[in-house]
Structure 1
Amino acid sequence: MQTGYRPYPQQQVPPPPPQQQQQQQRTPHSAGQRRGGIGPMMSSGPHHQVPLTQAQIAQQQQAAAIQVEMAKRRSRKPTDKNLPDNIDDCAVGDMAVRYRELRDFERRLDATMTRKRLDIVDSVNRSVKRWKTLRIWITNTAEDQVWQGNGLVDTFDFSSNLEPTYRIKIEGRLLDDDDDLDKDDDSEDNTGESDDADRMEEDTKPKAKSPKYRFSHFFKALSVDFPSNRKGIDQVVEWKKPERAGPSSSLPAAADFDELTFKRSGDENLNITINLYRHEEPERYAVSQELEDIVDMSEATRQEIVMGIWEYIKLMGLQEDEEKRNFRCDDLLRKAFGIETGSIPRLHEYITPHLKPLPPVKLPYTIRLDEDFHKDPQPTVYDVRVAVDDPLREKMSSFLSNAGYANMLKEAASLDDQLAIIIHAIHVSKAKHAFLTSLSEDPAIFVRDWLSSQKRDLDVIMGESMRGTGEDATGDEWRKGGKDSIWSTVNARESVTVMLSKQSVLPQR
């Protein structure tokens, strides 16, 4: 089948090379013909913009004119809030003195508020911690033990399918005040055992205000170590706090609790150890002995350690004189870092080998399954010191994020604008007062001087004045003598002094 192309006269051209002939056989379509699919792509060069209509051009011109007008209004807007000089002579009462006192008080108040606000920002950003007491109760109950069975089963020695088990409960509460610890010291012995069985009931009574932090907030993991001869699949007890998906995400409800309970099988008393792994933000580390000799802290965050080393360098004068970012190492620093000179920006690298995770909080506990103990069970109580955010931090953060502060600033700016307008009106009134006062003292001289000044201004406006208006000393004010004349002013005296100090060259005859 022949193609329907329009015949054109072809010129005699030499045959293409064999490789090009093969490519032409594989692509029978012409290069300029479209084979379907997407159309030809636009070039990457500059494209012509669509011309604007007359309405769009007029709208842009109107917007530009509005912006120019607003700029002119802002430039003409009065901003001076200071009273004119000598206003006390023409003001009634002590208005000017009171206004200056208020202005001085406003400046001191603004400086104080700014300083306090910066202090709040610094305190919130430093994340100050406060140590409080977390009280932990550990108890266990027994179920289906031998001594809990009835006498009928024991007499006939029937075998029972019930397996003896026990249930352990770990409960923690954050004490509201450290005074509670002092009140309970008399009721606990050195091993942590409470002598009063009702003490737990008194401490666990519901209070009017629920604690802010729950038991799971302070720990990221929990594990229980059983005796080596009793380890098995059913003895493994471990809990890990799930990680947050993002900074703003919250933990699931199952990860926020005040007590943890687990059940295991057994009929003998056991000595176990409960390991609590701390969860702190920012994370605290155990410091090596070499670094502890420098910063005098056994546990600290990275920021605290770096600041401690920096203070030690400044105290010992180890900073280089020319390059302040470098420091020399004394015996303690050389022992810790193993270098002669170090760089302050690399302190984080130097301290990393000396930081280790904090060891878990170990709480030994004896699982009691005998009948004598459960006649009068007593919980084992431990007090653990935990770090919490400063209670004032939330209140201080509310000051920074208070929406009323922005409204107050807008209101203060509006009042400042009104005050500037009033002060501008006072300046105008003061000028009017000075004009009328001068006119009333000597009308003839004032009118003559005023007319001379107006004539000079008119010459300047019309471009007919001489260079340096008044240099020819032809005005009326130049012909006047006495103390009130222009010759007794400071400008005149300085001009005469400069003229006399110049060395003039006399022409030779």
Structure 2
Amino acid sequence: MRELERKLDWTMARKVLEMQETVTKVIRKRRTLRVFVTHTVHDQVWQVQGKDTSVDFNTGRGIPSWELRIEGKLLDEVGVILAKDRNIAPPPPKFGSFLKSIVVDVDRDPRLYPEEVIVEWHKNPTLPADDGFSIRRRGDTSLRVRIIIHLDNIPEKGSVDPALSSIIGVKQGTRAECVTALWYYIKHNGLQDKNDRRVVRPDEKLRTLIPADAVLFQNVAEVVDRCLRPPEPVVIYHEIQINPQEPTKTRAFDIEVDMDDSILKTKIRDVLTRLVPTVENRVSQIDDEIAKNVQEIRSARLKRQFFQSFADDPQGFIKTWMDSQSRDLEVILGTDRGVPEELMRRSDFFRLPWVEEAVAVHEGMRMAGALPYQATR
């Protein structure tokens, strides 16, 4: 039972540590981010006909212009946009939290429009994320824009060089994923040296990346570093049409993103909150109960020995008990002159029953903290 109890305690402690470690790590989950690109035209000639045509250069009112808005919504597992319901915890992450930067390249002649044709946004970790971004420029002619989106992958992902991708079968991934895939390739093809397992002997495919007969495995990771490129951005082309029949137009694009599974982490935290204190309190209660039971067993054993000795030899027991009580009374009253020196010289004196009783009383007082423990050499 004790061995089974130790195994159960060890298993529960290990599971709790694994759950605590899982909460601190990134639990990746593939989701779909739907990006909406919408353009709207304002104060065009056909829009202000019959209205006040006064122009305010400070506010831009009355000047033909267009507005481009880029926003994104996260989809759930079945492809439905997650609503911002306050009853849902945690709320869905905002569009800006998935991005590292956005570059909007406006294709028009800068000589006609002095406004900048390239607009950039870069993520600032100190500011809260936004649900979308808007760009407004003057203009009354149709044009094309190119939207370049750099995703913020955690951990950082990169594009794998075709030479390495043809070996490990990974086109895009993190450094750890590529090293793991390369290790599986080496192990599956038996490329480790038979005498020294730390040494890798490249085959014909791997020799294109490692031009050597043998290399240490820790140096193989350098091959992955050389073959990883910055991830390819997401490029969206959109045409802003200044059209009376369609002053507003929206297009949608789906992007696969890796995100931290905060919902699963929340569930794990809830389990840990309920499990850890309960286990610790229960173990403490069981320890207290065990100590109490041991003390009761020890007390019952002493009682049994007392009555058993009395039952075996009542007269001798009473005499011994009276002698012991008399000796204790002399110690209390201060009339005890100690043990005669003649008796102290006899070895049989220390084999008498009073020795066992004295040791038991002394150890009991020491265990109770009444006497300081003095180590002897």
Is the shorter-chain TM-score for this pair beyond 0.5, marking a shared fold? yes
Contact 2:110–2:116 under 8 Å retained in 1:
no
Residue by residue over 1:413-434, the C-alpha shift from the partner in whole angstroms, topping out at 9 and shown as x without a partner, is 3541441341243255357658
Which residue number corresponds to residue 339 of structure 2? Answer: none
Which whole-Å CA distance do the structure 2 matches of 1:423 and 1:160 have between them? 92
CA shift in 2, pair 1:425/1:130, >3 Å: same
Which whole-Å CA distance do the structure 1 matches of 2:345 and 2:141 have between them? 117
Structure 1 residue 346, shift from structure 2 partner: 2.8
Paired AA for residue 71 in structure 2: E
1:387 aligns with 2:250: no
1:252 aligns with 2:252: no
Which whole-Å CA distance do the structure 2 matches of 1:224 and 1:422 have between them? 76
Which whole-Å CA distance do the structure 2 matches of 1:307 and 1:334 have between them? 18
Which residue number corresponds to residue 246 of structure 2? Answer: 373
Which whole-Å CA distance do the structure 1 matches of 2:345 and 2:291 have between them? 34
Which residue number corresponds to residue 264 of structure 1? Answer: 137
Which residue number corresponds to residue 234 of structure 1? Answer: 116
Residue by residue over 1:84-113, the C-alpha shift from the partner in whole angstroms, topping out at 9 and shown as x without a partner, is xxxxxxxxxxxxxxxx5xx67744542331
Contact 1:234–1:264 under 8 Å retained in 2:
no
Greater helix share, structure number: 1
Greater strand share, structure number: 2
- Listed as ranges, the gaps of 5+ residues in structure 2 are 321-343, 352-377
Contact 1:142–1:166 under 8 Å retained in 2:
yes
SS at 2:63 equivalent: coil
Structure 1 residue 366, shift from structure 2 partner: 1.3
Which whole-Å CA distance do the structure 1 matches of 2:192 and 2:24 have between them? 27
Residue by residue over 1:453-502, the C-alpha shift from the partner in whole angstroms, topping out at 9 and shown as x without a partner, is xxxxxxxx97737xxx9xxxxxxxxxxxxxxxxxxxxxxxxxxxxxxxxx
Q: 1:329-340 maps to which residues of 2 (within 5 A)?
A: 329-340=202-213
CA shift in 2, pair 1:292/1:205, >3 Å: closer
Structure 1 residue 212, shift from structure 2 partner: 2.8
Which residue number corresponds to residue 130 of structure 1? Answer: 29
Which residue number corresponds to residue 115 of structure 1? Answer: 14
Contact 2:39–2:249 under 8 Å retained in 1:
no
Alignment counterpart, residue 280 of structure 2, candidates 406, 409, 414: 409
Structure 1 residue 261, shift from structure 2 partner: 0.5
Q: 1:36-185 maps to which residues of 2 (within 5 A)?
A: 106-107=5-6, 109-124=8-23, 126-151=25-50, 162-175=62-75, 177-180=76-79
1:362 aligns with 2:238: no
Structure 1 residue 369, shift from structure 2 partner: 1.2
Paired AA for residue 234 in structure 1: E
SS at 1:272 equivalent: strand
Structure 1 residue 276, shift from structure 2 partner: 0.6
1:328 aligns with 2:228: no
CA shift in 2, pair 1:227/1:463, >3 Å: farther
Paired AA for residue 416 in structure 1: D
Which whole-Å CA distance do the structure 2 matches of 1:463 and 1:318 have between them? 81
Paired AA for residue 211 in structure 1: P
CA shift in 2, pair 1:118/1:160, >3 Å: closer
- RMSD of aligned residue pairs (Cα, Å): 3.7
Which whole-Å CA distance do the structure 2 matches of 1:419 and 1:326 have between them? 55
SS at 1:150 equivalent: coil
Which residue number corresponds to residue 298 of structure 1? Answer: 171
Which whole-Å CA distance do the structure 2 matches of 1:332 and 1:370 have between them? 57
Which residue number corresponds to residue 14 of structure 1? Answer: none
SS at 1:370 equivalent: coil
1:319 aligns with 2:196: no
CA shift in 2, pair 1:327/1:433, >3 Å: farther
Which whole-Å CA distance do the structure 2 matches of 1:435 and 1:340 have between them? 84
Contact 1:235–1:264 under 8 Å retained in 2:
no
Which residue number corresponds to residue 422 of structure 1? Answer: 293
1:287 aligns with 2:160: yes
Which residue number corresponds to residue 307 of structure 1? Answer: 180
Paired AA for residue 395 in structure 1: K
Paired AA for residue 45 in structure 2: V
Structure 1 residue 125, shift from structure 2 partner: 5.0
Which whole-Å CA distance do the structure 1 matches of 2:201 and 2:127 have between them? 50
Counting aligned pairs with the same residue, the percent is 28
CA shift in 2, pair 1:159/1:171, >3 Å: closer
**Which shifted more, 231-240 or 210-219?**
231-240
Paired AA for residue 365 in structure 1: H
Structure 1 residue 316, shift from structure 2 partner: 2.4
Residue by residue over 1:371-408, the C-alpha shift from the partner in whole angstroms, topping out at 9 and shown as x without a partner, is 0112xx441011111111122124325656x4983685
CA shift in 2, pair 1:240/1:357, >3 Å: same
Which whole-Å CA distance do the structure 2 matches of 1:204 and 1:413 have between them? 45
Which whole-Å CA distance do the structure 1 matches of 2:23 and 2:179 have between them? 20
Alignment counterpart, residue 215 of structure 1, candidates 92, 95, 104: 95
- TM-score, normalised by the number of residues in structure 1: 0.53
Paired AA for residue 183 in structure 2: W
Residue by residue over 1:154-200, the C-alpha shift from the partner in whole angstroms, topping out at 9 and shown as x without a partner, is 9xxx999843210111111112x23135xxxxxxxxxxxxxxxxxxx
Which residue number corresponds to residue 41 of structure 1? Answer: none
Which whole-Å CA distance do the structure 2 matches of 1:343 and 1:405 have between them? 44
Contact 1:225–1:272 under 8 Å retained in 2:
yes
Which whole-Å CA distance do the structure 2 matches of 1:319 and 1:462 have between them? 78
Structure 1 residue 303, shift from structure 2 partner: 1.4
Paired AA for residue 368 in structure 1: Q
Paired AA for residue 264 in structure 2: L
